[in-house]
Amino acid sequence: MYKVFIVDDEPFIIEGLYDIIDWGGMDMEIVGHAENGKDALEALARRPADILITDISMPVMNGLALIRSARETLNADLKVIVLSGFNEFDYLKEGMRLGIENYLLKPINLEELKATLANTISKLNEARASNNFNEQSIRILRDNVMYRWLMNQIDPAQFGERAELLGIRLDTPYVAIAIISMAHLQRETLDWMATRNESDYGTSIIAFRDMEGDVVVVFKLNEREDGLEQAAQLLRNFRAEWPGKEQPRLSLGSAEKLEDAAHSYAHARKAQEYYMIYPDREIVRYDELPSGQGDNQQRFPLDWAEYAQLIMAKEKEELLHRLEDDFAQLQKREGLTPADIRDTGMELAVRLKMQLEEIRHDEETQLFQGSFDQLRQAASLEQVVEMLKEAAGLTVDALIRDVKSPIVQQVLNHIKDAFNEDLSLKKLGAMYNIHPVYLGQLFHKEVNETFTEYMNKYRVEKAKELLKNTTLKVHDIATNVGYWETGYFYKQFKKHVGISPSEYRGLL
């Protein structure tokens, strides 16, 4: 609700303005009034307003002097409506120079006043939306630049230019990356985390959101080992201070040189997965994972690439046999301890979960919970292998269940080949000899989206690829992905991406 302040040396004018306008109905409220410019200026300093309605001719300080002073000292964007009993050109000319909304003569024409107020509200709404949009655009750009940096998707020189533009300072030799993840993570989490600064914890941070929706914290470290411990302590403090009932999952990557920050982010992401195994830990640190310090990829003794191929091929029996054979061979290795066997099992279980999530683009926490509970309690090789066989079986079974009915699968395949054509349930129903209403119901049941929702999301994703990889104009891209009306394309793109196509291209 916008705030209005009234100034006039005639009390009946002020009283009349209170009564003749339905201020609440126009999304406004009167926050005060005064009978001269000096009193008004003092009152406005205590109770800021968005709109000033003022007389011109008043004692002590006239209306024009009030406007100038209020704009200079209180609010440069203050909207002003002038009331005057004098139809004098000099007053009007000075008022126009000051950028007033209107110059209304007394006695006041009610309809003209209402129209002026409505127009002023419209301008304020546009300004507010523009400010919010600018803040959101900068936030999106900042998140995008930081994420691409941690994914090695941006040239160092280009990153340096954009970081300087956005006020991002990375001026320490080392960094460590942490991830804060919650099921219902709100933007306020990032804003709250961003207020934790050097004076609070003795180290500097940069916080942003990644494409997974998690908060990523970049700790700027002057010392490698000591700095990593400082970062861990900050996370413990953060957890202790966290105001919500739901506790966040905190993971901490390795301390790396600035140019190797991507390794720390990958390690923090990997450590997040181990909350399935260590749900009660305050922080899961990469350097405390079962494989010990160093690169888990190199220490993992099994050929993960072959496991991944069997999963993708849905070869369940062969995958289970492979598990049995590999762990039987591991048991024969000299110097291998039971703890090593359990650690390898933990690593493999986490990879199975991550592989399924990568394929299905969805969280798989519940699916694997029972298997991880068993693994934590495993006391023998046989128990470890049984747990892993269960997890591997669940992984392949989940992929097998994803196979659609023949009709829906044909429709999905046709969409891939002809997404830029004029597709509809009616046309597809005729093509596959099925009633369009029944096809729509079947599609929604198996894909968990309506046909229209799926088509819009699919086309927007294709548009994003063209915006990233081509120099085509936006209206040409709209046509290429199946939108014949550019306006509708803009609407759907902004709905699914949050920004316009042109703004999205500007972030790349």
* pLDDT for the residue numbered 298: 43
Q: Which of 136, 76, 86, 79 is nearest to 106 (CA)?
A: 86
DSSP 176: E
One domain for residues 106 and 6: yes
Same domain, 342 and 450: no
* 149 within domain boundaries: no
Q: Which of 483, 484, 476 is nearest to 456 (CA)?
A: 483
Chain Cα centroid distance, residue 294: 32
Structure tokens, 437: 């209403």
Q: pTM value?
A: 0.47
Q: Where does residue 256 fall: left (phi above 0), alpha (psi -120 to 50 degrees), or beta otherwise?
A: beta
Q: What pLDDT is stored for residue 202 in this prediction? A: 47
- Pair (426, 372) in one structural domain: no
Q: How is residue 180 annotated by DSSP?
A: E
The kind and range of the H/E element at 441 are helix 436-447
In this structure, is residue 470 part of a structural domain?
yes
**Average pLDDT over all residues of the chain:** 82
Whether 421 and 326 map to the same domain: the answer is no
> Does 463 reside within a domain?
yes
Residue 330 lies in a domain: yes
Start-to-end CA distance of the chain, whole Å, equals 37
pLDDT at position 299, please?
56
Quick one: which H or E segment has residue 2?
A: strand 2-7
Amino acid 295: pLDDT: 43
Task: Enter the tokens of residue 77.
Answer: 């964007």
Q: Are 299 and 287 in contact (CB under 8 A)?
A: no
Residue finishing a domain among 345, 369, 401: 401
420 and 449 belong to one structural domain: yes
- Report the relative pairing of strands 2-7 and 51-55 from DSSP bridges: parallel
Please indicate, yes or no, whether residues 119 and 185 belong to a single structural domain of this protein.
Answer: no
pLDDT, position 362: 59
Out of 278, 311, 331, pick the residue that ends a domain. 278
Q: What pLDDT does 336 receive?
A: 64
What is d(CA 356, CA 369) in angstroms, rounded to the nearest whole number? 14
46: containing domain: 2-128
In a domain, 155, yes or no: no
| pLDDT at residue 145, rounded to an integer | 86
For residue 486, give the CATH number of its domain: 1.10.10.60
Which of 217, 251, 278 is the last residue in one of the domains? 278
Helices (H), 274-380: 296-299, 304-312, 316-332, 338-360, 365-377
Contact 99/117 with Cβ under 8 angstroms? no
Whether 351 and 360 have beta carbons less than 8 Å apart is answered as no
Number of folded domains that form the chain: 4
Low-confidence ranges of the chain (pLDDT < 70): 87-93, 95, 129-137, 183-203, 243-244, 276-277, 290-300, 335-339, 360-367, 379, 402-404, 508
CATH number at residue 204: 3.30.70.270
Check if the beta carbon of residue 16 is closer than 8 Å to that of residue 109: no
Q: Verify that 39 and 114 share a domain, yes or no.
A: yes
DSSP string, 231-262: HHHHHHHHHHH--SSSPPEEEEEEEEEGGGHH
- The reply to whether 425 and 495 lie within a common domain is yes
Helices (H) and strands (E) in the chain, counts: 23, 10
Supply the DSSP string of 111-134, one letter for each residue. Answer: HHHHHHHHHHHHHHHHHHHHHHHH
Give domain status of residue 359, yes or no: yes
Q: Which residues contact 272 (CB under 8 A, 6 or more apart)?
A: 179, 181, 214, 249, 251, 284
Tell me which DSSP letter residue 60 carries.
Answer: S
Token pair recorded at residue 193:
């985390």
Strand-by-strand arrangement of the 215-221 sheet: 204-209, 215-221, 174-181, 249-257, 283-285
Beta bridge partners of 102: 81
Name the amino acid, one letter, at 158.
Q
pLDDT of residue 480: 93
Say which amino acid occupies 486: T
Distances (CA, A) of 162 to 143, 172, 346: 12, 18, 40
Here the tokens at position 386 are 């049984």
In a domain, 194, yes or no: yes
Q: Domain check: are 377 and 410 in the same one?
A: no
Distance, CA of 364 to chain centre:
21
Element (H, E) at 93: helix 89-97
19 and 119 housed in the same domain: yes
Query: Is there a single domain that holds both residue 353 and residue 430?
Result: no
Whether 10 and 109 map to the same domain: the answer is yes
Q: Given this model, what pLDDT does residue 176 score?
A: 96
Q: Say what the pLDDT of residue 165 is.
A: 79
283 within domain boundaries: no
- pLDDT for res 292: 41
- How many other C-beta atoms lie within 10 A of the C-beta of residue 362? 11
